[in-house]
Chain A
Amino acid sequence: MAIRPEEITNIIKDKIEHFQTKADLSEVGTVIQVGDGIARVYGLNQVKASELVDFGNGVKGMAMNLEYDNVGCVLMGSDDLVHEGGTVKRTGEVISIPVGDGIIGRVVDPLGRPLDGKGDIKADKNMPLDIVAPGIVERQPVKQPLQTGLKAIDALVPIGKGQRELIIGDRQTGKTAIAIDAIINQKNLPADQRCLCIYVAVGQKNSTVAQVVQTLTDFGAMEYTTVVAATAADPASMLYIAPYAGCAIGEYFMWKGKDVLIVYDDLSKHAQAYRQMSLLLRRPPGREAYPGDVFYLHSRLLERACKLSNENGGGSLTALPIIETQANDVSAYIPTNVISITDGQIYLESSLFLSGVKPAVNVGLSVSRVGGSAQRKTMRKVAGTLRIDMSQYQELEGFAQFGSELDKESQRQIERGKRMKELLKQDQYKPLRLSQEVLALYAGVHGYTDGIAVEQVRAYEEQLLAWAGTSKKDLMQELDAATELTEDLAHKLDSALDEFKTVFNHK
């Protein structure tokens, strides 16, 4: 783009002409102490809780503690630029983030400043970060499925649009992977079912966030995704506001009638950042040194996920918060809090992950409390049988380990279970279409894999899906669109699977 000097001159001339030369009236206070990202301010008597204050030099802060003789503020920038005795101004505003269609595809910090070097973001309006969640009458029940493209999740812990489903597990168990796959999978969906996605990175390494952005770009998923990043190098205050910023962006699109998927990766670090701030502000510590209101910290965030009523445009905001546990301890403070706030959890286990079950979903402990009613009927039909197969298998697995004699039926169930377990495995970055998921699981629950060696099951699945994709296009399309697994459709599936028997190539 060519820049013409006279144009710039005109803009500046215009700005100078319209410049207001009125005296500036502001309410101010004086910094009496600063350090560790916290400033104590004397004065500012009229300041409101959570109000944005200006420390000058481009550093903003938020009034957190309104005390008898001073105001405790958290700084949104470097505390090197704030000095004792410096002047602090009220702004009369709460923290907000500029939003607009232009924010899609961008990487921003929690104040909406671009981090991707792609220039300014054109904004329609400013959304305050902390909004009261929509009330009961403004909502409707969750009833549309949100496809993650992961068999284990879409079948056994189905997620509905507007739901809050926790992803919980130790480090390196594939939590982020599940969320990223769910985002990538949106590309597979028809435009009317596709969600806009927001990935909020809290307290992660810069390199990890860069990697996620790269992955999303490589899979063409940045077209409909916004990344909000507050990394480990940022002040705790930025980590604290990051999820609210992401949520505000999501709400903007939700109120425009869009479906939005938001991932908070992760809320453990969010709680830790809040704990750091609270302790430095000298708020009393409670269990695990977290402040007393840490439950509200997450409940007010996750409550904002919802499915709006049709009068309100019918948009939705689906939240996938992530919690990292220590040594599988789900009874620690933050995990129990978030488990009780969400509508279910996907429980990932490192022992499963290490034994090759990926995604490492513990099927027995994972639940979805509202997604079941939103599940597509075709999927629900196969999932119902699958669930029974899996639970029978888990029950019998224990006996089998003792080497005890089992009757024929039990042996059959164990063999079936082993194959189903294989079928639920899935590689990273390979989310499947609904039709593919249903076909693979249908083959399993209807015994088509029973005659195949356990180690061959994944090869069977891979070949089956490839074959169906080329030779059975119509059937797959029908399956994708079908709302019910009719007898006719089941019949077609059966005959296709019979046909495939001759095609399958044992390795």
Chain B
Amino acid sequence: MKSADRILARRYARAFDALSKDGAQADARFKALQQALQALRAADAYMRDPAVASADKAAFVQQVLQDDEAVTGFVCVLIMAKRYYLLPAAAEEAGHLLDERLGRVRARVQSAFELTDAQKARVQEALSSFSGKQAVAQYQTDASLLGGLRVRMGDVLIDGTLKGQFEKLKQELTK
């Protein structure tokens, strides 16, 4: 994606976010947006077909999505501006804005083995106190890490894996 598109997507996301009065409403709207995204994925070929008129696409969207007006409106605005392709990026940005609004921070936690629930709770707590925000962790396993944890949270990367340590040791020894 071009960086200009990213700026645009963020602008649309910001407008979408501004429609909600409070955190609870924003949260609900965001969930609706994600469902809409899911639903429209099935009709992707149609939605991206340049031969179909924008008005037809908008009418189709209005039929398929009926629950939340703001979400339907948002998608239709993108369609009429011929920027439907921005929708996934805009939705992602909207997610970031929602996190900001709710004082949340997303973290991707990678480990060599599946963590136990107790371990997950400890990680969650440590990350929350480190960032000063409520950390929402998403867990992945990657056997190549050998041991330890790797956490990516916003712009911060915390690498405590064995793989990383070996990597560093290798650099140290070949210097």
* 0 or 1 for each of A23-50: is its CB under 8 Å from B? (1 = yes): 1111111001100000010111110000
Determine if A499 is an interface residue (Cβ-Cβ < 8 Å).
Answer: no
A23 touching B172, Cβ below 8 Å: no
Contacts between chains A and B (CB distance < 8 A), count? 62
Q: Which of B148, B155, B157, B172 is the one whose CB lies under 8 Å from A45?
A: B155
Note all chain B residues with C-beta closer than 8 A to A33.
2-3
B172 touching A69, Cβ below 8 Å: no
Note all chain A residues with C-beta closer than 8 A to B155.
27-29, 43-46
Determine if A373 is an interface residue (Cβ-Cβ < 8 Å).
Answer: no
> A16-B169, A69-B10 in contact; A25/B3 too (CB < 8 A)?
no
Determine if B45 is an interface residue (Cβ-Cβ < 8 Å).
Answer: no
A42 to B160 CA separation, bound complex (whole angstroms): 23
Determine if B6 is an interface residue (Cβ-Cβ < 8 Å).
Answer: yes
Report the nearest B residue to A43, measured CB to CB. Answer: B155
Q: How many residues of B contact A (CB 8 A)?
A: 22
Query: B51 to nearest A CB, angstroms?
Result: 30
Note all chain A residues with C-beta closer than 8 A to B173.
12, 15
Interface of B (DSSP majority class): mixed
Query: B170 to nearest A CB, angstroms?
Result: 11
Query: A156 to nearest B CB, angstroms?
Result: 52
Report the nearest A residue to B156, measured CB to CB. Answer: A27
Note all chain B residues with C-beta closer than 8 A to A87.
157
Determine if A299 is an interface residue (Cβ-Cβ < 8 Å).
Answer: no
> A32-B3, A40-B3, A42-B6 in contact; A24/B168 too (CB < 8 A)?
yes
Query: A77 to nearest B CB, angstroms?
Result: 16
Determine if B129 is an interface residue (Cβ-Cβ < 8 Å).
Answer: no
Determine if B23 is an interface residue (Cβ-Cβ < 8 Å).
Answer: no
A26 touching B159, Cβ below 8 Å: yes
A24 touching B3, Cβ below 8 Å: no
Determine if B81 is an interface residue (Cβ-Cβ < 8 Å).
Answer: no
Note all chain A residues with C-beta closer than 8 A to B158.
23-26
Determine if A143 is an interface residue (Cβ-Cβ < 8 Å).
Answer: no
Query: B159 to nearest A CB, angstroms?
Result: 4
Note all chain A residues with C-beta closer than 8 A to B159.
23-26
Report the nearest A residue to B165, measured CB to CB. Answer: A21
Note all chain A residues with C-beta closer than 8 A to B148.
23
A residues in contact (CB < 8 Å) with B: 12, 15-16, 19, 21-29, 32-33, 40, 42-46, 67-70, 87, 89
